[in-house]
Structure 1
Amino acid sequence: MYQARAAIALAVVAGLSTGALAATEVIHQQGRVFSSESVTVKKGDALTFLNDDTIPHNIMSASKGNEFNLGSQAPGASTDVTFKETGDVAVICAIHPRMKMMVKVVD
């Protein structure tokens, strides 16, 4: 009986851990473009910005409520950004103007 309860508890914890990991999507930067032109996330979720490129990028947004500036992100670096307010968030690279994407933050 004890072993059955322990197995169920372990399965529940493993399921919760998997769900938590799935909430963070990785946005790659390579060839001076983002891997996605647009994504939708829930309020409070994060995106990981990973620089897979051979050059630095400066990922930022000036969208009200979700402002951020990652500064110079070296090749191989990654940074998580949590989106706190609902709405459309324009994300750009301050170094490479053609690098643009939209993040739609929903409840």
Structure 2
Amino acid sequence: MWREINIENIKIEKVVGEFFLWMPINYPFFKLKIKIYENSKCKFRGTTDIALKRKSTGEFEQASGYGGNVEEALINVIKDFDQMIKEEGIENINQKDIRYVKWINF
């Protein structure tokens, strides 16, 4: 099984979920894509295809989340994204504050 592959300095993850969230609110985007990955230790992590510019640092940051299964990781990514939006203030987010992750990297 793929989890048993052990190569020095190599980390293997499997994409186990891809989700689209459609948001009928006033974001400068309409949908958000989330990918969920599983590692060889059966732990799950997820990230968004959108990075928000954080006012405090000026850096772009993707929402992320971890969990013991796909659903838990997905919920935690959504919660992290929601928290980022609340911290930045939805009224302060415009197109220049958003960066899409390149498809080849996501």
TM-score using structure 1 length: 0.29
Q: Tell which structure's C-alpha radius of gyration is larger.
A: 1
The higher-RCO structure (CA 8 Å, 6+ apart) is 1
* Greater share of helix: 2
TM-score using structure 2 length: 0.30
